[in-house]
A and B are shown apart, each in its own frame.
Chain A
Amino acid sequence: MASRQDLRSGFRERNLQKALGVYLYIGPALLVLAVTSIYPVIYSVVMSFFDWEWGGKVSFIWFGNYLRYLSDRSFWQVVWQTFYFTIGAVSVELVLGMALAIIVNRLRFGVGIVRTLLMIPLMVSGIIVALMWKILLDPTLGIVNYLLRLLHLPTSVWFGAPGSAMPSIILVDTWWQTAFVFIVLSAGLRSLPREPFEAAEVDGATSWQSFRYLTLPMLKPVLLTVLIFRTIDCLKVFAIIFGTTGGGPNMVTESVQTLAYRTAFKFLKLSRSMTLMVIFSIIILALLLIYMRVGERETVREGGSR
């Protein structure tokens, strides 16, 4: 008969085996994430307290980098520009994507082909989108200005002037990413129950009323997720600015990430660039928490509906 001692050690062995089993599954992924994401984040945070240029010597300066940025008006200007782009692009994309989802939802046939065609921009790399639009929006030789002239509409220099550069980049992002909003919201629309809409129709509700009082509230969780995804993506904007204006003219389209790129790879100020990224990550994280908190409160207020 096995003593209690034996039983316990057998137990422990089994547990150990079980734990080893888990790490056989999770371990490799954990290891790769440790190298590619956990290590870099820690490294960035540590190095942000040092003064270091590529090839130069490293010296500890406490919060020197942070103080420099936080008191620098041109840094806040760049943060504001990034938010300006994000707010502009996300709101236009949400409205257009919602409209497209509703329109396509009304089609009787050909939904698949329309969806496939509308989805194509999502398959295109940001840098290619940027270069394409640089050609299309060329002030003198571009097709867009030509078509506008044909229709006797005012033309623009697009990326060329401080006033129109950022709206042009918002336009480019809208062409590129609206399909994402459209696809996710389409799936959301299809998942809604039919009965409330039928009841509303019987009661004589207009289509605007059923959109306002049925579709929108029921879609809220999906809308919030789309909003979070698009906001994060837009705050991280790089390729479409890099490929069109490169941050110009007069730095009005510089975003946080293009600034980080120049700081690190043009001016070789590595620790400063890492500080920039740490500050920006904190801003994004804070924003995300606010979104989630708002989302939670909404759900609670509606009695946890969906």
Chain B
Amino acid sequence: MSARATRRLMTIIAYLLALVAVVVTLFPIFWIFTISIKSQRDAFAMPPVWVFKPEWNNYLEIWQQAGFGQAFRNSVVITMAGVVLALLLGIPAAYALNRMEFRGKRLFVIWLLISYMFPEFLFIIPMYVLYQQLGLYDTQVGMALVYQVFVLPFTIWLLRSFFADVPVELEDAARIDGCTRFQTLRLIYFPLTAPGISATAILAAIWIWNELTIALALTFDVSKTVTVAVAGFRGYASIDWGGMTAASIVSIIPMLIFAAFAQRYIVEGLTLGAVK
């Protein structure tokens, strides 16, 4: 067999394996989706039914039960507030880390790295006690704030690498022309690093939206998030497959939209976070 034929064969095999990987990746989600639009009888049928008449009432019912609608709204608010807060705090901090000298800088950087490593409950229990005293327990504000423990270091870290790509000369030129630091940030950094800032915001949003551990401990009722609401179906896993699958699909959809539109940014953010 010639070298070219071998290479062609290898490519075909690569495509076949990639296809297998895609099927294994997507089939579970597809199957969960079909269960969510099956009638109760079809959902539990064994052998499973592949052809059936779709029913959408699970999707209507979840909004009425177990506070799912409220939880969904809470997650939207907490995610947006959390991301905005992280960017407001993170952008100036990342800029300062790149372009300014200050005492304790090294310690600050080390802390940013270390806080990613700490297990959640190390923070959760003290925050639980503090929030009970301050009246922040089970509030949207409290959640947007407490998420900064992971989101802020991560945001600063990513933005720092994006900002590092901005040429110093450009900034110096602007400074000489009389720009203040805030103006250089606004007129030079924002336009040049807009993709990087978006990538950071998207990754932070995905992280907050999907977070369970902290939300489980620090919310109870009025501010519980969508993940906590979905976890509420856990005890009924053997009974209410319809509600559980519909709730899961509904909570995945916003993230899938992100994945579809911002795939490149997400990849960039993930790799940058890990490689740099």
A residues near B (Cβ < 8 Å) are: 19, 21-26, 28-30, 32-33, 35-41, 43-44, 47, 99-100, 103-104, 106-108, 112, 114-128, 131-136, 138, 140-141, 143, 146, 175, 179-180, 183-184, 187-188, 207, 222, 225-226, 229, 232, 235-236, 238-239, 242-243, 246, 256-257, 260-261, 264-265, 270, 273-274, 276-278, 280-281, 284-285, 288
How far, in angstroms, from A32 to B93 measured CA to CA in the complex? Answer: 12
How far, in angstroms, from A274 to B212 measured CA to CA in the complex? Answer: 19
The A/B interface has a contact count, at CB < 8 Å, of: 270
How far, in angstroms, from A270 to B126 measured CA to CA in the complex? Answer: 9
Q: Which residue of B has the minimal Cβ distance to A31?
A: B89
Q: Which residue of B has the minimal Cβ distance to A259?
A: B121
Asked if B60 lies at the interface with its beta carbon under 8 angstroms from chain A, I say no
Which of the residues B148, B251, B263 comes within 8 Å of A116, measured between beta carbons? Answer: B263
Which of the residues B108, B216, B270 comes within 8 Å of A26, measured between beta carbons? Answer: B108
**Beta-carbon contact of A183 and B263 below 8 Å:** no
Task: With both chains docked as a complex, state the minimum distance between the C-beta of B255 and any C-beta of chain A, in angstroms.
Answer: 4
Q: Which of B171-214 contact A (CB under 8 A)?
A: 181, 206, 209-213
Q: Which of B3-40 contact A (CB under 8 A)?
A: 10-11, 14-15, 17-18, 21-22, 24-26, 28-29, 31-32, 35
Interchain residue pairs A-B with the least CB separation, the first 7: A125-B210, A40-B126, A29-B93, A25-B96, A123-B255, A43-B126, A25-B92
**Beta-carbon contact of A239 and B93 below 8 Å:** no
**Beta-carbon contact of A125 and B18 below 8 Å:** no
Task: With both chains docked as a complex, state the minimum distance between the C-beta of B141 and any C-beta of chain A, in angstroms.
Answer: 13
B residues near A (Cβ < 8 Å) are: 10-11, 14-15, 17-18, 21-22, 24-26, 28-29, 31-32, 35, 44, 46-48, 85, 88-90, 92-93, 95-97, 100-102, 108, 111, 114-130, 145-146, 148-149, 152-153, 156, 181, 206, 209-213, 216-217, 227, 230-231, 233-234, 237-238, 241, 244-245, 248, 251-252, 255-256, 258-260, 263, 266-267, 270-271, 274-275
Q: Which residue of A has the minimal Cβ distance to B43?
A: A141
Task: With both chains docked as a complex, state the minimum distance between the C-beta of B256 and any C-beta of chain A, in angstroms.
Answer: 6
Task: With both chains docked as a complex, state the minimum distance between the C-beta of A227 and any C-beta of chain B, in angstroms.
Answer: 10
How far, in angstroms, from A229 to B117 measured CA to CA in the complex? Answer: 9
Task: With both chains docked as a complex, state the minimum distance between the C-beta of A190 and any C-beta of chain B, in angstroms.
Answer: 10
Q: List 21 A-B contacts (CB under 8 A).
A: A25-B181, A29-B92, A33-B153, A35-B145, A36-B145, A107-B11, A107-B18, A108-B11, A114-B21, A123-B252, A125-B212, A127-B212, A132-B29, A146-B48, A225-B275, A235-B119, A239-B212, A243-B231, A260-B121, A265-B217, A280-B122
How far, in angstroms, from A235 to B121 measured CA to CA in the complex? Answer: 13
Task: With both chains docked as a complex, state the minimum distance between the C-beta of A225 and any C-beta of chain B, in angstroms.
Answer: 5
Q: Which residue of A has the minimal Cβ distance to B234?
A: A243
User: With A19-B102, A112-B263 given, is the CB distance from A37 to B210 under 8 Å?
Assistant: no
Task: With both chains docked as a complex, state the minimum distance between the C-beta of B201 and any C-beta of chain A, in angstroms.
Answer: 15
Contacts of A236 in B (CB 8 A): 119-120
Contacts of A184 in B (CB 8 A): 270-271, 274-275
Which of the residues B96, B117, B217 comes within 8 Å of A285, measured between beta carbons? Answer: B117
Contacts of A43 in B (CB 8 A): 126, 129-130
User: With A135-B35, A238-B212, A277-B119 given, is the CB distance from A36 to B25 under 8 Å?
Assistant: no
How far, in angstroms, from A246 to B120 measured CA to CA in the complex? Answer: 17
**Beta-carbon contact of B212 and A22 below 8 Å:** no
**Beta-carbon contact of A114 and B121 below 8 Å:** no
Q: Which residue of B has the minimal Cβ distance to A239?
A: B212
**Beta-carbon contact of A33 and B227 below 8 Å:** no
Task: With both chains docked as a complex, state the minimum distance between the C-beta of A51 and any C-beta of chain B, in angstroms.
Answer: 15
Task: With both chains docked as a complex, state the minimum distance between the C-beta of B87 and any C-beta of chain A, in angstroms.
Answer: 11
**Beta-carbon contact of A183 and B237 below 8 Å:** no
Task: With both chains docked as a complex, state the minimum distance between the C-beta of A188 and any C-beta of chain B, in angstroms.
Answer: 7
**Beta-carbon contact of A131 and B149 below 8 Å:** no
**Beta-carbon contact of A119 and B231 below 8 Å:** no
User: With A116-B263, A146-B46 given, is the CB distance from A225 to B274 under 8 Å?
Assistant: yes
User: With A136-B28, A180-B270, A187-B275 given, is the CB distance from A37 to B263 under 8 Å?
Assistant: no
Task: With both chains docked as a complex, state the minimum distance between the C-beta of B237 and any C-beta of chain A, in angstroms.
Answer: 5
How far, in angstroms, from A236 to B150 measured CA to CA in the complex? Answer: 13
Contacts of B255 in A (CB 8 A): 123-124
Contacts of A40 in B (CB 8 A): 122-127, 130, 149
**Beta-carbon contact of A123 and B256 below 8 Å:** yes
User: With A36-B148, A180-B270 given, is the CB distance from A120 to B259 under 8 Å?
Assistant: yes
Which of the residues B152, B181, B237 comes within 8 Å of A33, measured between beta carbons? Answer: B152
**Beta-carbon contact of A32 and B145 below 8 Å:** yes
Task: With both chains docked as a complex, state the minimum distance between the C-beta of B202 and any C-beta of chain A, in angstroms.
Answer: 10
Q: Which residue of A has the minimal Cβ distance to B248?
A: A128
